[in-house]
Structure 1
Amino acid sequence: MVHSKRTKYRKYQKGRAKGVDPRSDVHFGSYGLKALEASRITEKQLEACRVAITRKIKKIGKIWIRIHPDIPVSAKPTEVRMGKGKGAIDYWMCRVKAGKVMFEIDGVSSELAKKALILGASKLPIATAFIMKEKPIAQ
């Protein structure tokens, strides 16, 4: 699993995932997976998506993960009485705004990239879109 090794505080508040990220674009690869709605993504969902994409493109292309689960979420065990402090860290998550590019791929064909990213998107709890890098206009 992928999560932060060190944070400023051990426990955080989850907060809300809302807003739009208008400047997020494909920078490293040629194809990307863009979030269409704001949500929280856990490290398990991110890892499942990464594994699905990697298996589909095999060893041909390269993959970039543009989001990182950096917020610890605590939970208390079931059937525990109220009080006695905040629970232990249960999992890690990241907040994703609408319009954020989460994954990028390069070195594969357009059809393979689309299949791989759609397969990866099925592992995520949000609506996503397949996008391509815009080619600069020659003058």
Structure 2
Amino acid sequence: MLLKPKKTKYIKIQRGRLSRVVSSFRYLKGGSFGIISQESIYLTPHQIESARKVISRYLKRKSRILINVFPDYPLTVKPAEMRMGKGKGNIKSWVCRIKKGSVIFEAISVEDKQIYQAFQAARKKLPMRTFIFRCCYKKKKN
């Protein structure tokens, strides 16, 4: 199951800038562990899916996995040996723009050791430097 948006307002988007750092540290939304990026990069749906499969294989449905990224940015490519001009190329693939310091995966579980092992294996599938963050704060009960 490869991810791509069902519908977008504009199909082709200008490239923009990827190198900016996330302004402040993003706390985990609900998980106890998280994988946080240390580089800005484009992440493909194949890479997200392979990391998700590794995590789910290690955890064996004993915990919940949160994926905080979605490939919503189109990469366009012109055909080979095409002259300059004549508009923007066709969409080659959809990617996710990951900025430095953003949370990619989170997991909620009872056993911390299993989550840590699963995230260590998932880090090998990702094409960037990441680190595993353990959430040690407790949310206030209302």
TM-score bracket for this pair, using the shorter chain length: 0.7 to 0.9
Q: Is the 8 A contact 2:28 2:135 kept in 1?
A: yes
Q: Is the 8 A contact 1:34 1:100 kept in 2?
A: yes
- The residue number in structure 2 matching 1:5 is 6
Q: Is the 8 A contact 2:63 2:109 kept in 1?
A: yes
C-alpha spacing 1:51/1:137, structure 2 compared with 1 (3 Å): closer
- The residue number in structure 1 matching 2:20 is 19
- The residue number in structure 2 matching 1:50 is 52
What SS is found at the alignment partner of 1:37? coil
What SS is found at the alignment partner of 1:47? helix
- The residue number in structure 1 matching 2:124 is 122
What SS is found at the alignment partner of 2:17? coil
Give the gaps of 5 or more residues in structure 1: none
Q: Is the 8 A contact 1:56 1:116 kept in 2?
A: yes
2: CA distance, partners of 1:78 / 1:51 = 35
Percent identity, please: 36
- 1:77 deviates by 3.5
Relative to the length of structure 2, the TM-score reads 0.86
Q: Is the 8 A contact 1:35 1:96 kept in 2?
A: yes
Larger displacement relative to structure 2 (14-23 or 34-43): 14-23
What SS is found at the alignment partner of 1:85? coil
Larger displacement relative to structure 2 (33-42 or 10-19): 10-19
- 1:82 deviates by 4.3
Q: Is the 8 A contact 1:57 1:108 kept in 2?
A: no
Deviation per CA, 1:54-113: give whole Å up to 9, x if none. 112111111000111110111233344544432221111121111111100012411111
Q: Is the 8 A contact 1:40 1:93 kept in 2?
A: yes
2:66 counterpart letter in structure 1 = W
CA RMSD of aligned residues (A): 2.0
- How many residue pairs align between the two structures? 138
